[in-house]
Amino acid sequence: MRKGEKIVLCGPSGSGKSTLIRCINRLEAIEQGSIVVNGHRLDDSIKAIDVVRQDVGMVFQSFNLFPHMTVLQNCMLAPIRARRIGKTEAEATARKYLERVRIGDQAEKYPAQLSGGQQQRVAIARALCMQPKVMLFDEPTSALDPEMVKEVLDTMIGLANDGMTMICVTHEMGFARQVADRVIFMAEGQIIEEGEPEAFFRNPQHARTRQFLGEILAHH
Amino acid sequence: MTPHFGLPEFGFLLRGLQWTVLLTLVAFAGGCTAGLAVALLRTCGHKGVEWATRIYIGIFQGTPLLLQLFVVYYGLALTGLKLDAFVAVAIGFTVNASAFLGEIWRGAIEAVPRGQTEAAMALGLHYSSRMRDIVLPQAIRISLPATIGYLVQLIKGTSLAAIVGFIELARAGQIVSNQTFQPLLVFGVVGAMYFILCWPLSWWGSRMEARLALASQR
C-alpha cells in the first residue's frame, strides 16, 4: 500500500475484512505471513506492537468512546499518556481536530449526550489526535441511523481529500466510488478480486463479486 | 448488687462501637488494597497467575471466616508469632475481604465492554494506563452496589472478632448484658447501633444500583 492511498475492503460478513484490518494494529494475532507498517515489521514483541500502534489510527463500528470522559478528555488522553506531550499542547491538538470534524462546540459534553453520528466523528478526531500515518475504519457507519451516515462519510471524504492514507471496511459503495484508489473484495478469508473502483463496479471479473455487488446495490 | 443500664454502660458500648468501626475501616482499607491486586492478577491474562488467584479466592470464600480468624490468632501464635488480638483479627478480616472484593471487582473488570480495551490499545495506551484511565474507573462504578453491600456485611461480620477475645460492639453488649441482666434493653441498643451504621450504607447502595440501572438503559 502506498502513502496516501485509499483502499476500500468489502465482502459478505464473516469474510475476514475486519480480522484483516484488526491484524494491522495487532488487535488480532497473526497466524502466518507478516505485516510491515511504515517500515516497522509487526511481530509479537511489545515494542514492535507499540511502535505500530503509534502510527495506526482506528475507528470502530461501535465508536468505543470512553463514556466516563468528556469529548475533550477522550481526545487528550492518548497523546498525553502514549506520546507524553503536555496538557496545553494536547488540548490545542484536540480542539483543532474536533473543529475539523465540526464538533468543536461539543467538547465539554459526555459521549452519551451526543448522537451516534457525532460520537463517531469524535472517535475519528480522537484517532487523529495521535497523528497517525494510516487510518483504519472498521464499518464506521454500520451502527448508525441512516440520516447520520452522511455526516460521518463526509468527514471521511474530507480526510481522504487531505491526503490521509486509509483502509476502510465498508458497504458504502458510493463512498468507495468517490474516494477509493482500490477496492478489494473478500470472501471466506480470501481476497477474491481487487481493482480501481470504476472497473470494479462496472465490470467485476468473478461470479462471487457480481453476486455480492448485485445484492448490496439492489437497494440503492 | 447488680448495676442498671446507665451512662457508664452506654459509654462502654460506645467504646465497643468505636472498635467495630475501627476494625471495619482497617479491614476494608486493607481488603480494598489487597483486593485490587487480587482482581488485577485474576484478569492479567497469564494462565498460571490467574489459576493461583483463583485458588486463593476459593480458599478464603470456601472456608468459614471463623476458622480463618482461629488460624491467624492461634495458628500464628504456635509458630512463635504472638499477635495482639486487634492486629490478628485485622489481618484475618483483611485477607478475607481481599478475596471477596477481589472476586467482586474481577467481575466488574470483565463487565467493562471489550471494545473499551480495544480502543485504548488501538490508541497505543499501555496496560497501566488502560487499567487506570479506562477500565478501573468504569469497573468501580459497576461494582459500587456490590462493594457497598460487602461493606455492610463486613461491619456486621466484625462481631466474629469476639471469638478471640477482642471486645468490639457485640462482645461489649454481651458483657454489659451479663452484668445488668437486661439483655433485651442492652441488645436492643447494640442492634440500634449496628443499624445506624449499616442502614444508610444499604440505602446508598440501592440508590447507586437504581442510578446505574437507569444509566445503562440510556
Three-state secondary structure readout of B141-189: HHHHHHHHHHHHHHHHHHHHHHHHCCCCHHHHHHHHHHHHCCHHHHHHH
Choose the closest CB to B134 out of A27, A53, A66: A66
Q: Please provide the size of chain B in residues.
A: 218
Choose the closest CB to B124 out of A60, A65, A130: A130
User: Mean pLDDT throughout A177-200?
Assistant: 92
Which residues of A fall within a CB distance of 8 Å from B137?
68
Which residues of A fall within a CB distance of 8 Å from B125?
77-78, 81-82
Q: How confident is the model at residue B78 (pLDDT cuts 50, 70, 90)?
A: confident
Give tens-digit pLDDT for A36-57: 888 888 888 888 888 899 999 9
Distances (CA, A) of B10 to A81, B44, B194, B199: 55, 50, 14, 21
Residue with cell 478464603: B60
DSSP letter (8 states) at residue B40: H
The alpha carbon of A161 is separated from its chain's Cα centroid by a whole number of angstroms, namely 15
Residue with cell 442492634: B191
Q: Is the pLDDT of residue A96 over 80?
A: yes
Q: What is the pLDDT of residue A166?
A: 96
Mean of the per-residue pLDDT values of chain A: 92
Residues B189 and B11: beta-carbon distance below 8 Å: no
More confident residue, B33 or A219: B33
Residues A196 and A177: beta-carbon distance below 8 Å: no
The distance of A82 to chain B (nearest Cα, Å) reads 6
Give tens-digit pLDDT for B82-129: 888 899 999 999 999 999 999 999 999 999 999 999 999 999 999 999
Q: What is the pLDDT of residue B46?
A: 92
Q: Going by C-beta distance under 8 Å and a sequence separation of 6 or more, which residues neighbour residue B178?
A: none
Q: How confident is the model at residue A220 (pLDDT cuts 50, 70, 90)?
A: low
Give tens-digit pLDDT for B132-143: 999 999 999 999
Which residues of B fall within a CB distance of 8 Å from A123?
119
In angstroms, the CA A125 to CA B196 distance is 50
Residues B95 and B134: beta-carbon distance below 8 Å: no
Q: What is the CA radius of gyration of chain A?
A: 18
| Model pTM score | 0.88
Q: Kindly list the structural domains of chain B, giving each domain's residue range(s) and its CATH number in brackets, ordered by start.
A: 18-217 (1.10.3720.10)
Percent of chain A whose predicted confidence (pLDDT) is above 90: 75
Q: Is the pLDDT of residue A32 over 90?
A: no
What is the largest distance, in Å, between two alpha-carbon atoms of chain A? 55
